[in-house]
Chain A
Amino acid sequence: KAGVTQTPRYLIKTRGQQVTLSCSPISGHRSVSWYQQTPGQGLQFLFEYFSETQRNKGNFPGRFSGRQFSNSRSEMNVSTLELGDSALYLCASGTNSYEQYFGPGTRLTVT
């Protein structure tokens, strides 16, 4: 089975712009979660989607949003980018068990 894929792998944006990141889960996985990893805060949960519905949400501002499509693929959007949004954004997929399988991440740099 192919693993979780994320595109793009690297991205450079300017403050104030918006960005969309994409995640394709492992085939058959209906849950997709997003995490932000920064040196200062570690890995932090953003939100989780299951069957196109947001099922769980972390403590991030409304500038961070996401959606899931009927094929389970998910996108994450960040609007009005700030310097502090520079991070590795990780997507993870899962089934009904609790293990989550991560993609390689998208490295976002905001200048």
Chain B
Amino acid sequence: DQQVKQNSPSLSVQEGRISILNCDYTNSMFDYFLWYKKYPAEGPTFLISISSIKDKNEDGRFTVFLNKSAKHLSLHIVPSQPGDSAVYFCAAMNTGTASKLTFGTGTRLQVTL
């Protein structure tokens, strides 16, 4: 049972445009969400997170939006840069059982010139 889903396996965006990566979850006990970026042969790099008490969190070019009623979150990257090309993972946790992250299957973002 895939509790965290990233339904788009890949996304291609032009440099300078907005990249929007989506994530859906089914477990209503999840109350903290994180986005990671992963390059080949490296471990995931933490990007940004959001608590369920918020609906938006912003950090530079990265903004995460959370819609609790729809059990949906998205990561916006503006403007997109070629160095953003990587696989992006959405992850969720129940802070009551902290540190157990449940990951989505990832979306491969390609930023083209």
Interface residues of A in 20-77 (CB under 8 A from B): 31, 33, 35, 42-45, 48, 50, 55-56, 58
A42 CA / B102 CA spacing, docked (Å):
10
Partner of B103, one of A43, A55, A94: A43
Which one of A11-19, A79-87, A99-107 contacts B? A99-107
Total residues of chain A contacting the partner, CB 8 A: 24
Chain B residue nearest in CB terms to A32: B99
The smallest C-beta distance from B66 to any residue of chain A, in angstroms, reads 14
Residues of chain A lying within 8 A (CB to CB) of residue B106: 42
Query: Interface on A for B, CB 8 Å cutoff?
Result: 4, 31, 33, 35, 42-45, 48, 50, 55-56, 58, 90, 92, 94, 98-105
A50-B99, A56-B100 known, 17 other contacts, Cβ within 8 Å: A4-B43, A35-B101, A35-B103, A42-B104, A43-B89, A43-B101, A45-B101, A55-B99, A56-B98, A90-B43, A98-B99, A100-B34, A100-B46, A100-B99, A104-B42, A104-B43, A105-B42
